Amino acid sequence: IEPGVIVEAMGNYQIIAQGNIIALGTPADSIKFGSGLPDQTTLWKGIRLESTLVQSQFRNCRIELGQYGINSINSPVEITFCHFNKNQKGIQSYGIGATEPATVLIDHNLIEFSQHNGILVSQNSNTDITYNDICHNGLTTQYYGAIQLSNQSAGGSNSPLIAYNHI
């Protein structure tokens, strides 16, 4: 996806990538993913990455008004210099059941005004969260953290690298 492109969902739709997405904007000309509906409180489903083999890249993108901004289902992805704004959950890294979970790199992003978590890391994920600004998340009446670690089983583990963030 080229710099300056605007991808708008005109309803409750989702982008599902069973291959990869390469969205490389520039600081002066980002790529925008969001809702194209006039009611800017209506969420679209967001971006779901499902390939366990090929890496997706998002750089200098603006991702808004999604149920999940980016939802990596054991899919390798680099998310850098992006702005996540007004999503239900900004980013999810999901590796449950994977014997060798895919690497998810979340680096130098602004993640703000999420209704729930800025970042949700599920059990058994292989996630690095570094140099991000994660603020003004958990805006509903229930408690949600800027970064939430989630284990679904008693023997599960969840050990992401979380370093140098401003939360």
pLDDT score at 65: 97
Label residue 134 by pLDDT band (50, 70, 90).
very high
Position 7 scores a pLDDT of: 97
Q: Averaged over 11-17, what is the pLDDT?
A: 95
* Per-residue confidence band for 82, with pLDDT thresholds at 50, 70 and 90: very high
The rounded mean pLDDT for the chain is 94
Which of these, 56, 68, 8, 1, lies nearest to 29 by C-alpha position?
1
Q: Could you tell me what percent of the chain has a pLDDT over 70?
A: 100
- Enumerate residues 6+ apart whose C-beta is below 8 A from 13: 44, 45
Q: Full-prediction pTM beyond 0.85? A: yes
Give the distance from CA 2 to its chain's centroid.
19
